[in-house]
Amino acid sequence: MRWLLLFLVTGLAPAQDGFCPAYPETQMLAYQRGIARTRRPPQRPVFTAGARSASDYDASLDVNFLDTSLFRQMALDEIQPADAAADAEFLRRVTLDVTGHIPSPQQVQDYLANTDPNKKAALLARLFGSKEYIDYWTHWLIDRFQVTSDYYGYIGIPGRTLFYNSVRDFVTNDGSWQDFAGQLITAAGDSHQSGPPNFVMRGIQYSQPIQDTWDEMTNRVTTLFLGVQTTCISCHNGRGHLEAINLYLSKKTRLDFWKQSAYFSRMNILFESSDPANSIYRGYISDRTSGGYNSVLADPNNPGPRPLRTGGPYTPVYLFNGSAPATGAWRKELAGAVVNDRQFARAFVNYLWTHFFRVGIVDPPDGFDMARIDAANPPKDAWPTDPSKPWPLQPSHPELLEQLTDYFIATGYRISPLIRLMTESRAYGLSGSYAGNWTPLHALDFAKSFPRRLTAEELYDALITATNTPVPMTVEGIDHTLYYAGELPDASEPRSDETRGLDQNNYIRDFLDQFGRGDWWRTFRDNSLNPALMLYFMNAPPVTDRTFGNRFALGSSLVAKLAASTAGNEEAVNTICLATLGRLPTEREKAAALAYPPPDPARDEWLSDLQWVFLNEAEFFFSH
């Protein structure tokens, strides 16, 4: 019966650099796609402040400067943008993107019935004031920092929980990203007494020379806060390796990197066991008043994974402008150099843009090429794949990127105004469907909304919301019961869960692992979707058990409630589709679902099969 409904409702029929192992093939391809994407068509007019807009451009429709930049460029490119997203499409998208949850059936019905022209603003106000918003953006940030309790023995549950709470406090208080980043870079003290020192503990390289820890911290800082991965030049000079990837770094050397890494060379870390088995260590982080980056190894028989270093000791020089510290407090000087660098604001803006618009203005967002950012000073170096032309500018919309950067700085480096600006814009609200002829230039101009696969956590939370089957999770260090994956403090959780009569223990972790959560250490996050995952979703107990009504001790599930109610068949179809996909069923879906009216004894099976079908719509896996 399930397979029949699936057919009826969905229509479904059953160059890596060899000298640089830090660049896996997938990352290399991402860089190449980004470079190809920013290669503007030769005749494309580039918008400037004094440019004359196309005749069909109506500035009165713009909500903010983001719209002005994008829609004027589309008009100049003679591109027709997609229509505005339908209410149900927009509601599901923005609820997922802002809170990580899908809307409830009642929220969908209320929004669709609301005729107030200001209902979008009211929706955003409700989302921004929610606990789910705090949960989601806390998780969004800790997923980037990847401070997991399983990282060797350096963090543990105490350090993990403290770090999680410090990030959550930052989000709750809508603090300054500039201040918070500075606190992490200069973190000092006991890692089991405050959160920020665990940012440093996550950078410690186990059983390797201390220089490797300094180098790892350097790359973490440049990537997380500046959008520039510098790992490559920690192993070799850029020349001969990076010319096809990053023009700026292709001209940098290992010596340049060592001088950047020297900012951490006066950092001192002492360890103390925090448990009788000596399995977890707390760190005491401080700074010395002397020292520098040198090539001398504490153990010559343990050179670490990088090629041998030479010379030194080296004193700090900031990689991106050549400045040197004015005092001996080198980490404090580094924090000042980073958070006052315009690239610090620019990188965060682009990371956030990538979340809401799926593709960065600079893409990939951790691959900034600082030689190709400034529209007023474009690169003159020959483009490797076409030496007759110079490298293209990297941002697809350089002026807009700078406007967003200015806005972020002017609003005190606070995240919430930036999120609101993006989600309020007309551009964010475009439909994911496009009726006309789609070209690469349309994609470059963000002429429609692009889909993204839900993360593992979002998918699990959507599943339990759609089926109304939350399962309590007890997490050590957290003083209350958790129900949603988006509340988990790191990727090692839940270590155990109460299954309330379900067949499979630890199935929550299994589900999250299957859908690519990763472990924030050895296994990277993977948001791809393949046939094996689709088959898992169709057959695995974490999904199927949730649609079996009263048979599996989840008596409060949506199917169980509908089976026990007086709702008619058509109302039941509407309710299940609203709960699962955030919209009413199409006429085709409704006709297919009602084609075989169930006898009363089998109505719960029919309802169960029906929700299983809607859960396996491809639409369920994506934010459109």
Phi, then psi, of 20 in degrees rounded to 5: -140, 80
Sign of the dihedral through C-alpha 483, 484, 489, 493: positive
Question: How crowded is the C-beta side of 416, counted as CA atoms within 13 Å?
Answer: 17
When comparing pLDDT for 40 and 584, which is higher?
584
What pLDDT sits at residue 131?
97
The sheet carrying 267-273 orders its strands as 189-190, 281-287, 267-273
pLDDT at 3 over 60: no
The Cα angle at residue 261 between residues 256 and 266, in degrees rounded to 5? 135
Per-residue confidence (pLDDT) for residue 278, from 0 to 100: 80
- d(Cα 409, Cα 531) in Å, to the nearest integer? 44
Q: What is the pLDDT of residue 24?
A: 56
Residues 197 and 283 sit within 8 Å (Cβ to Cβ): yes
**If you count them, how many residues does the chain have?**
624
Q: What is the pLDDT of residue 579?
A: 97
pLDDT of residue 15: 40
The answer to whether 390 and 381 have CB atoms below 8 angstroms apart is: yes
pLDDT at 145 over 90: yes
Q: Region 583-606: what's the mean pLDDT?
A: 88
pLDDT at 166 over 80: yes
| Cβ(250)–Cβ(204) below 8 Å | no
Q: What's the confidence (pLDDT) of residue 49?
A: 42
Question: Which residue shows structure tokens 């965060």?
Answer: 348
Residues paired with 268 in a beta bridge: 286
CA distance to 123, 172, 425, 489, per residue, from 129 (Å)? 10, 10, 19, 21
DSSP per-residue letters across 18-50? TT-TTS-HHHHHHHHHHHHHT---TTPPPP-TT
The domains of the chain are located at 2-13+453-623, 176-339, 341-398
pLDDT at 352 over 90: yes
pLDDT of residue 40: 53
Cα–Cα separations (whole angstroms), residue 568 to 331, 408, 556, 584: 67, 52, 19, 15
- Rounded CA-CA distance 76/256 in Å is 42
Q: Which two tokens stand for residue 515?
A: 């859908």
Residue type, position 249, single letter:
L
Compare 22 and 525 and report the one with higher pLDDT. Answer: 525
pLDDT of residue 383: 84
Has residue 8 got a pLDDT over 80? no
Other CB atoms within 10 Å distance of the CB of residue 182: 22
CA–CA gap between residue 96 and residue 358 (Å, rounded): 13
Measured CA angle at 138 (ends 135, 143), to 5 deg: 120
Percentage of residues in the chain having pLDDT higher than 70: 88
The residues that bridge with 66 in the sheet, in sequence order, are none
What value does the mean pLDDT take over residues 186-210? 97
Whether 314 and 291 have beta carbons less than 8 Å apart is answered as no
User: What pLDDT band is residue 22 in, cutting at 50, 70 and 90?
Assistant: low
Higher pLDDT among residues 23 and 310, named by residue: 310
Q: Which residues contact 319 (CB under 8 A, 6 or more apart)?
A: 222, 230, 252, 256, 257, 259, 260
The β-bridge relationship of strands 267-273 and 281-287 is antiparallel
Q: Is 157 exposed, middle or buried (0-12, 13-18, 19+ CB in 10 A)?
A: buried
Residue range 368-387: mean pLDDT, rounded: 92
284 strand-pairing partners = 190, 270
What are the residues whose beta carbons fall under 8 Å from the beta carbon of 564, sequence distance 6 or more?
none
Distance CA 475, CA 482 (A): 8
**495-531 tens-digit pLDDT:** 865 444 444 446 899 999 999 999 999 999 999 999 9
Omega before residue 494 within 30° of 0, cis? yes
Of 24 and 63, the structure prediction assigns the larger pLDDT to 63
Provide CB contacts within 8 A for 522, sequence distance 6+.
none
Q: What does the pLDDT look like over 530-563, one tens digit per residue?
A: 999 999 999 998 888 888 765 555 568 999 999 8
pLDDT digits (tens, 9 = 90+) for 29-48: 666 666 666 655 444 545 44
d(CA 373, CA 394): 6
DSSP for residue 186: T
Confidence of residue 244 (pLDDT cuts 50, 70, 90): confident
- Residue 50 clears pLDDT 60, i.e. is over it: no
pLDDT cut 90: percent of the chain above it: 77
Query: DSSP readout, 38-98?
Result: T---TTPPPP-TTPPPPTT--GGG-SSHHHHHHHHHHHHTT-PPPPBPPHHHHHHHHHHHH
Query: Looking at the DSSP assignment, which residues form a beta bridge with residue 414?
Result: 176
Residue with the bigger pLDDT between 597 and 19: it is 597
- Closest Cα to residue 161, out of 401, 513, 476? 476
The average confidence (pLDDT) of the chain is 90
Q: What is the pLDDT of residue 400?
A: 98
CB neighbours of 528 closer than 8 A, spacing ≥ 6?
453, 516
